[in-house]
Amino acid sequence: MKKVDSLKALDEIKGRVRPLLAVREDLDYTKIKEAPQVDILVCRGTGCTAAGSAEAEDAFRDAVKSNGLQSRVNVVKTGCRGFCEKGPNVIITPSDVLYTEVRAEDASEIVERHLLNGEIVERLLYKDPVTGKSIPFNHEIDFYKGQTRVVMHLNGLIDPWNIAEYIAYDGYRALIKALTEMRPEEVLGEVTKSGLRGRGGAGFPTGMKWGFVHSAAGEEKFVLCNGDEGDPGAFMNRSVLEGNPHSVIEGMAIGAYAIGNVRQGYAYVRAEYPLANETLSHAIHQAREYGFLGENILGTGFSFDIDIFPGAGAFVCGEETALMVSIEGKRGNPQQRPPFPANKGLFDKPSVLNNVETWSNIPRIILNGGDWYSSIGAKGNAGTKTFCLVGKISRSGIAEVPLGSSLGYVVFDIGGGPPGGKRFKAVQIGGPSGGVIPLEHINTPVDYESVTGLGAIMGSGGLIVMDEDSCMVDMARFFLQFTKDESCGKCTPCRVGIPKMLEILERISQGEGKMEDLDTLEELASMVAEASLCGLGQTAPNPVLSTIRHFREEYEAHIIDKKCPATVCAALFRAPCQHTCPVGLDCFGYAALIKEGKSDEAYRLIKQKLPFPMVVGRVCHHPCEAKCRRAQVDEPVAIRHLKRFAADWALEHNVEYIPEIKEKREERVAIIGSGPAGLSAAWDLAIYGYQVTVFEALPEAGGMLAVGIPEYRLPKDVLKKEVEDVRKLGVEIKQNSRIDDVTSLLKDGYKAIFIAIGAHEGARMGIPGEDLEGVYEAIEFLREVNLGKEVRVGKKVAVIGGGNTAVDSARVALRKGADEVYIFYRREKKDMPAIEEEVLSTEEEGVHLHCLTTPTKILGDNGRVSELELVRMELREFDRSGRRTPYAIEGSEYKVAVDMVIEAIGQRPDTSLIKDGELKIGRGGTIIADPRTLATEQKGIFAGGDAVTGAATVVEAIAAGQRAASSIRRWLQGKELSPLVERDGYEPIAIPSILPTEEETQEKAKVRISEIEPKERVASFKQAVSGYSPEEAMEEARRCLRCDLEV
């Protein structure tokens, strides 16, 4: 090969090769059959190769050959496009059709069907995990569409093993330009102007760094490339080295020229990247052949060469001083700075170290100018940054976006958010040295300053997405474990400080933490961050500090409540279902008993912890099922249905369980409100022998169970039966007994009071027309219906809201004779807080769901509702709940003719019984009580349930009642209140310890329950959903994986 000695020679190569590559950019699908040239681009990056793309590549060659297509079909190996999760990836051009997870055995099918017949092989197309749709064309995939690719622009397009293809895309043109048209200072100036900042993590301005070394004294200087990418989950540098190695070589050569007195460069590439090493090595060899490296490059007198130094896998060798001493052949320990590498670097000579991504940006900056580059991104944060989007994310891979793009854009628009509809929680950015950025900061622009301001770092661009199932304590623990192992051990704060922090975290995650531990952690962390020698130690505490900062309550849950809300810290629970259940039901236990045919014992096991199994078995929002591990196999166990089965079975078989009261106590306790919270507290206190009186203002006991939930979901007799059980235990329930003076009860001799009045007042929207006839608050509407009052239901009913109350109201309206029922909701369907099954049933029953719309006005005719004016909404940035904020689209107002409007936008407690200053009232009219002990500031008075939390769920109310009972017990016994709920006094029930059989763990959908046909359903208030038969229940129970038995 003759060396390239001029721009002309370069142009000659480009002119010859570029036309041959045109097909790869041809998006026209129609001409595949007769296309004169077809390139099959097989990704041979590490990810795809590991998944079998080498075999696929061979298979394609064979298939091309066996079909006699060699003359027009090329099989080309390319680098990584950053979509490794779906590898092996194969792209057919022209047309840019992407096939994913292509096996060798698929090759002939693709060649025959696609190339010969022009039909797309549907089954191998990429299926978007969010929409579930197949997307044939690479360029139409959302993951790519949202990206701006500067660094990655040739990845996957060119063959990295062929320098001519790089040259075809203007490769080495920048080097020639720099060497022949620019003085070194001009090159420096251009880089400075571009605003490029070091992509290795710290974001130090590259031009400035080069300038330091340029002006440092010394006859011998070095440029170094940091390819020691070691963050867990980061692989963007590897992709560049594998997919476009010449951009790094060219960048380094330009840098060497600009800095001056540089004859040698080193690329420090971790040895665990064999393919990157091989590709780069080959590229260096080719660059030498072509005369881009070596002596007297292009005859300009400039000489420069690059050697690869394979790193031996120590994370800390990515630290610049450690990397340099490692190249010197010493133990890769960081060195204290100053002196800085710009003055005393490799072999004590002035040295510039930039990472792969920084170097690979250089050629395009020189070619297109600094101004071009600085026009991308944000002010002070020019250009793009590649991120490795991994973790709990629907579309994972390398995402390159302009700096300053919002975090939410990357996570949701590109990544599609967490899979499985789970709630996004946070991202860990910057790898183990970084920190978490929580949901509430999802709109943060991703730039160096913003990220640092939130206690994280940009790092090399690792972006680990976490959802509701990620525990922040565990996450901090994981990263500390990593930094602990990767610390070089040289300086004390890092070597000892990190393990000590880790030990404390481990203590916390095992439920043995103390609140002082948080102070110790913060104190240690700040010392380690400040006093450690190098970046590793200085940043290692970030995960701890940032999780404490953003998720303190999660630490407190571990320490105080001994709970891991994400059900990750295994030492804290027996099984995720039980741990997640607010009342801690032994779901696995009753599943096991049902499976054994011991339904009566299952019932007792449930009833011991839950006085209302039949109710809860019907209406619970079952958070247990969301954490059920069976979902990782197929879908969660139908825990709620199993509970209902056991309860219904007991009723059917006259099995009653009223616990024995062992000791009568004199103290009297008053409970205000007979909802699930009040009755649960009464139940627990009565078991302990206390004299309990429940005061209920309404004529029926049960609170929201009685007046909020419609009968088709919760039949009256079911509720009555379970309320009756409470009475049987000796609890006095006084209906129609409204309490107007709380403290008077104390005077009446009650030793303790529990206020559980629920949230029975509807909130209003505050739009014009709410006073018109036919406008209801949902809770009022439901109450009236439940109490059998006559409610005039319109023909066209509009329900406003997206919660369970809205859904219930809509369905009740339908059953009460409405012709058309609409639900208007301002966000998207997936954002609705209502239970998903209920929404589904509602739609089945014919309710019209209108999303992204909100009422602005209720119009009336003669004082009665006649029309509803609405405005369409659009979603913009994310709010603190992680949902996008709806904004009204100006001018999109429209009207719908309705004759009834039910507002279901929220509830608040009616606290009129509380005198001014008697108890504190908080936001939303809720009563202020300690969230853990439920004690109010008045001694002996406790409050809980919806009255304290605002409208929540039945099972949470029950849990609150039990918590209150536990606190009242302690209070009456003169003990200190505790955040831990004590409930004992029950006889033990043995749970079979039998692991599921191999067969039982095989994929198997849950047993469906039968529902009455929608048409029939809406005709009455008859219970819509029936329970399991014993056989069905046993079959379903067999699906339980018995996580509690795991060691």
Partner 1 sequence: MNEISLTIDGRQVKGEEGDTVLDVCKANGIYVPTLCHKDGLSDVGACRMCVVEIERERRVMPACTYPAKDGLVVKTHTERLERYRRLILELILSEHEHNCLVCEQNGNCELQNLVYQYGIDKISLPINKLVEPIDDSSEVILRDPNKCILCGRCVRACAEIAGQGILSFADRGSKTIIVADLNWPLAQSGCVSCGACIQACPTGALTEKLARFQGRSWEFRKVQTTCPYCGVGCQIELNIKDNRIVKIYGVEDGSDNKGNLCVKGRFGFDYVHHPDRLTTPLIKRNGKFEEASWDEALDLIATRFKELKDKYGSDALAGLSSAKCTNEENYLFQKFVRTCFGTNNVDHCARLCHAPTVTGLVQTFGSGAMTNSINEIGDAACILAIGTNTTENHPVIGREVKRAVDNGAKLIVANPREINLCHFASLWLQHKPGTDVALLMGMMRVIVDEGLLDLVFIEERCENFDAFKQSLNDFDLDFVESVTGVPRDNIAQAARMFAVNSPATILYAMGITQSSHGHDNVMATANLAMLTGNVGKRSTGVNPLRGQNNVQGACDMGALPNVYPGYQAVADPAIRGKFETAWGCSLPASPGLTLIEMLEAAYRKEIKALYLVGENPALSDPDIRHVWESLAKLEFLVVQDIFLSETAKFAHVVLPAASFAERDGTFTNTERRVQRVRKAIKPIGDSRPDWWIICQVAKRSGAKGFNYSHPFDVMEEIRHLTPSYGGISYQRLENGGLQWPCPTDDHPGTPILHVNTFVRGKGRFVPLKYVPPAELPDENYPLILTTGRSLYHFHTGTMTRKVVGLNNIEPESTVEINPRDASQLGITQDDKVKVSSRRGEVITKAKVTEASPPGVVFMTFHFAESPANILTNPKLDPISKIPELKVCAVTVRPLMK
- Note whether 508 binds partner 1 by CB under 8 A: no
DSSP 890: T
Among the candidate windows 80-88, 523-531, 608-616, 961-969, which touches partner 1 by CB under 8 A?
523-531
Backbone angles phi, psi at 696, to 5 degrees: -120, 125
Choosing from 30, 117, 520, 881, the residue that interacts with partner 1 (CB under 8 A) is 520
- Could you tell me the smallest distance in angstroms from the CB atom of residue 499 to partner 1? 4
Type of residue at 933: T
Residue closer to partner 1, measured from CB, 288 or 500: 500
- Note whether 492 binds partner 1 by CB under 8 A: yes
- Could you tell me the smallest distance in angstroms from the CB atom of residue 766 to partner 1? 50
Report the C-alpha gap between 476 and 498 in whole angstroms. Answer: 11
275 in Cβ contact with 310 (< 8 Å)? no
CA atoms within 13 A on the CB side of 879: 9
Choosing from 531, 560, 772, 921, the residue that interacts with partner 1 (CB under 8 A) is 531
Tell me how many residues contact partner 1 (CB under 8 A): 35
Please list the residues that pair with 798 across neighbouring strands. 822, 901
Which SS3 state, helix, strand or coil, does residue 248 take? Answer: helix
- Note whether 522 binds partner 1 by CB under 8 A: no
Choosing from 38, 121, 297, 498, the residue that interacts with partner 1 (CB under 8 A) is 498
Residue closer to partner 1, measured from CB, 149 or 490: 490
- Could you tell me the smallest distance in angstroms from the CB atom of residue 529 to partner 1? 8
Report the C-alpha gap between 851 and 867 in whole angstroms. Answer: 18
Report the C-alpha gap between 368 and 702 in whole angstroms. Answer: 73
- Note whether 500 binds partner 1 by CB under 8 A: yes
736 in Cβ contact with 826 (< 8 Å)? no
Please list the residues that pair with 755 across neighbouring strands. 672, 943
- Could you tell me the smallest distance in angstroms from the CB atom of residue 32 to partner 1? 54
- Note whether 331 binds partner 1 by CB under 8 A: yes
Choosing from 20, 496, 791, 875, the residue that interacts with partner 1 (CB under 8 A) is 496
Choosing from 524, 626, 814, 847, the residue that interacts with partner 1 (CB under 8 A) is 524
- Note whether 493 binds partner 1 by CB under 8 A: yes
Report the C-alpha gap between 1044 and 441 in whole angstroms. Answer: 36
Choosing from 147, 351, 470, 487, the residue that interacts with partner 1 (CB under 8 A) is 487
Residue 1044 in tokens? 């509690």
Report the C-alpha gap between 255 and 352 in whole angstroms. Answer: 9
Choosing from 530, 553, 877, 1046, the residue that interacts with partner 1 (CB under 8 A) is 530
Residue closer to partner 1, measured from CB, 523 or 1013: 523
How would DSSP label each residue in 526-582? HHHHHH-SSHHHHHTTHHHHHHHHHHHHHHHHHHTS---TTS--GGG-S-HHHHHST
- Could you tell me the smallest distance in angstroms from the CB atom of residue 486 to partner 1? 6
- Note whether 300 binds partner 1 by CB under 8 A: no
The C-alpha torsion from 374 through 379 and 380 to 384, rounded to 10°, is -50
User: Using CB under 8 A, which residues numbered 336 to 355 contact partner 1?
Assistant: 336, 338-339
Question: What is the rounded radius of gyration, in angstroms, for the C-alpha atoms of the chain?
Answer: 34
DSSP 999: G
- Note whether 335 binds partner 1 by CB under 8 A: yes
Residue closer to partner 1, measured from CB, 331 or 653: 331
Residue closer to partner 1, measured from CB, 496 or 888: 496
Choosing from 497, 565, 584, 801, the residue that interacts with partner 1 (CB under 8 A) is 497
Among the candidate windows 518-526, 789-797, 809-817, 954-962, which touches partner 1 by CB under 8 A?
518-526
740 in Cβ contact with 913 (< 8 Å)? yes
Given strand 302-311, what is the order of strands in its sheet? 294-297, 302-311, 262-270, 221-227, 351-355
Among the candidate windows 216-224, 481-489, 840-848, 941-949, which touches partner 1 by CB under 8 A?
481-489
- Note whether 863 binds partner 1 by CB under 8 A: no
- Note whether 533 binds partner 1 by CB under 8 A: yes
- Note whether 449 binds partner 1 by CB under 8 A: no
CA 208 and chain centroid, separation: 38
Which SS3 state, helix, strand or coil, does residue 454 take? Answer: coil
Among the candidate windows 208-216, 329-337, 427-435, 653-661, which touches partner 1 by CB under 8 A?
329-337
158 in Cβ contact with 21 (< 8 Å)? yes
Choosing from 27, 116, 312, 527, the residue that interacts with partner 1 (CB under 8 A) is 527
First to last CA, the chain: 64
Among the candidate windows 530-538, 589-597, 609-617, 1001-1009, which touches partner 1 by CB under 8 A?
530-538
- Could you tell me the smallest distance in angstroms from the CB atom of residue 431 to partner 1? 16
Chain residues that interact with partner 1, rule: CB under 8 A = 314, 316, 331, 333, 335-336, 338-339, 483-493, 495-500, 503, 520, 523-524, 527, 530-533, 538
